Amino acid sequence: MPRCLKFKVNIIRKEGKSMNLKTAWQETCKFIRMMQKSEPHVIAYLILTAAITAAVPFLPIYFSAQILNFLIAGQFPQAMQNVYWMIGFSVILGLSSKALNQRFLKLRDLSKYKIRQRVLEKAYQIEYEELEKAETIDEIRKADQGSNGGGGTGEQLRDLLQFLTMFFSMLYSLAFVSVLLVQIFTQAQDYWLPVSSLIFLFAVYAVVIMIGSRLSAKAGRLLQKMKRDNVHNNAMCGYIGNLGMSIQNGKDIRLYQMEDFLMELFDKTLISSRLYIDWGTNNGKINGVITFLTQLASGMTYLVIGIIAMQGTIGIGEVMLYANAILRFTTSLVTLAASYNNIAYRYEYLNSYEAFIQRPNMSYEGTLPVEKRDDGEYHLTFDHVSYRYPGQSETALKDISFDLELKKHFAVVGRNGAGKTTFIKLMCRLAEPTEGRILLNGIDIRKYAFEEYVQIFSVVFQDFKLMEMPLGENLAASANVDDQKAMRVLEEVGLSARVAGMDKGLKTQLGKENGEGILLSGGEAQKAAIARALYKDAPVVILDEPTAALDPLAEAEIYENFNELVKDKTSIFISHRMSSCKFCDEIVVFDHGQIVQRGTHDQLAGQPGLYQELWEAQAQYYRHSPQTMEMIGSQV
């Protein structure tokens, strides 16, 4: 992890509480270090852009005062000379400001993408078990906002640019005001009146700035609260919005006529919260008061500068110069306060990002390599394993002890919800036992490096998903596709003829959401998922309801091939199609999270118990039909 990212998250503040200057400064330093690490020149460009951009408006202010003074004095050549200077400097500074700004924006976007990349990278590393929790998804969402969305680094850099620009603008204004003070003290006959007027003006400004910054702080708090409260609403709106483009849900939406229902839900999600509306109303009021106060201060400024001018201390040109400089000072300060508040409050999101990036990878932290064995001798043992899903009171698996003997073919059967898939998830380390342990060749599987451990499994889950990518890349799970191997596994699952008919063959894009592609039928997709498992060629093959979508001939073909393919491997089939379990060496029956029976088909079918019930329930439909019994026979 880069050093800049190792800072401790320490500004978890109570909701609505302002961040003090010291903390804001510390957070800013951390943020700057983080940005510099991801894009080294971004901060240098930030400072340069702010310094130059802030100077641009002062050119016309300064030169128009000079020009006016020369014109009043009848010195036309000098006035013209100043016009040329003004145009020249304005062009140079204006262009430099634009060029710097462009470069800054480019670097800002680059660093933003790099930081977002880290969120994605981290999200991929999170244990699957954690990913199933709603709070983890929220955490990722917040971290993503901290890196990309409303609370993101891009916006933070934009506000920092505004803050610094206003800061430089104030410095330039103060330089002019200092000159004014020097002029008053050196040229005024009686400086009591100008000095007291200026003191009065500063007092007015102090009050305006104090009220203005408090109001800006409140506006910032409201904005952040609205964003914080809106994380779920945004996600829900995003979800419903995406349903409009979803091919997967498109059929159901149309056939169940869910359009009005979904639109209502969308409206409700937006309006019921009233978050945006409330925020907009309050923000409008606050901005109104700030504008009123700023205008009041502007009027006072002209009055005071007018008084000083009437004394003859400064000329007409200077009246414009100083009045504008002081006004710039005020507007810069109010904007600076607003940017400060946005910057300070956005650290909450950035800290969510930090907290997320720093979270440990818990169960994936084992380091032992898994011995590479050509003989596939991987021995898995469940030792009194129980498992309860996070937040659930029911135990999904209870005290499972099981030896996955080498190169044996197992079938796992049981009623819906019996715990079959959970058993596989634990075996593949997608969840960790709540009690007990799982061993690979005698060693607790948590001790192995996760990426090495999962190498030994080829799994097709019941709810498998193919990616919207080219078919070949789907099979290889990589951009490097071994075409020959890919075609061989497609042949084995009976999909090669279909692929041969595709114009782009293995390069054919799957799905429609990621560019023009083809839609596979349910059975074809299942064959492709099985082909992906075969391509991986791991020593343990697990198929969870592998043939549910296949036609009987395809199913028979797959089983025939599978017997051959898994001959030297350990395999587990989960199936509700009892006939397909007959060919396995051992059948394991799950019920209510426990293993209740084990044996061969002949043993279990002949004794009273759940297996017999399940078998009988299916077999009765075939009993009176010799053809169908024949069909079952052919499949097994």
Span of 87-95, 337-345, 411-419, 445-453 interacting with ligand ATP by CB under 6 A: 411-419
| 555/449 Cα distance (integer angstroms) | 36
Q: Judge contact between 420 and 544, C-beta under 8 A.
A: yes
Residue window 445-484: x/- pattern of binding to ligand ATP, with contact defined by CB under 6 A: -----------------x----------------------
Nearer to ligand ATP, 45 or 423 (CB): 423
State in angstroms the smallest separation of the CB of 412 from ligand ATP.
Answer: 8
| Neighbouring residues of 406: CB distance < 8 A, sequence distance ≥ 6 | 376, 377, 378, 379, 570
Nearer to ligand ATP, 50 or 418 (CB): 418
Span of 84-92, 308-316, 410-418, 522-530 interacting with ligand ATP by CB under 6 A: 410-418
Half-sphere exposure of 386 (CA within 13 A, CB side): 9
State in angstroms the smallest separation of the CB of 392 from ligand ATP.
Answer: 5
How many CB atoms are closer than 10 A to CB 562? 24
Residue window 99-138: x/- pattern of binding to ligand ATP, with contact defined by CB under 6 A: ---------------------------------x------
Span of 169-177, 366-374, 388-396, 445-453 interacting with ligand ATP by CB under 6 A: 388-396
Q: Alpha helix (H) ranges present in 230-274?
A: 231-243, 247-255, 259-271
Nearer to ligand ATP, 427 or 475 (CB): 427
The residue type at 567? K
Half-sphere exposure of 39 (CA within 13 A, CB side): 23
* DSSP state for residue 149 in the 8-state scheme: S
| 421/588 Cα distance (integer angstroms) | 13
| Neighbouring residues of 251: CB distance < 8 A, sequence distance ≥ 6 | none
Judged by CB under 6 A, the number of residues near ligand ATP is: 13
Residue window 416-445: x/- pattern of binding to ligand ATP, with contact defined by CB under 6 A: xxxxxxx-----------------------
* DSSP state for residue 294 in the 8-state scheme: H
State in angstroms the smallest separation of the CB of 422 from ligand ATP.
Answer: 3
Half-sphere exposure of 441 (CA within 13 A, CB side): 13
State in angstroms the smallest separation of the CB of 131 from ligand ATP.
Answer: 10
State in angstroms the smallest separation of the CB of 576 from ligand ATP.
Answer: 7
Tell me which residue of 116, 184, 558, 91 sits closest to 350, measured CA to CA.
116
State in angstroms the smallest separation of the CB of 433 from ligand ATP.
Answer: 14
Span of 101-109, 293-301, 389-397, 436-444 interacting with ligand ATP by CB under 6 A: 389-397
State in angstroms the smallest separation of the CB of 547 from ligand ATP.
Answer: 14
CA dihedral 293, 295, 296, 299 (to 10 degrees): 160
Q: Judge contact between 588 and 599, C-beta under 8 A.
A: no
| 535/458 Cα distance (integer angstroms) | 9
Q: In the set 389, 398, 399, 469, which binds ligand ATP (CB under 6 A)?
A: 389
Nearer to ligand ATP, 151 or 593 (CB): 593
Residues in contact with ligand ATP by the rule CB under 6 A: 132, 389, 392, 396, 414, 416-422, 462
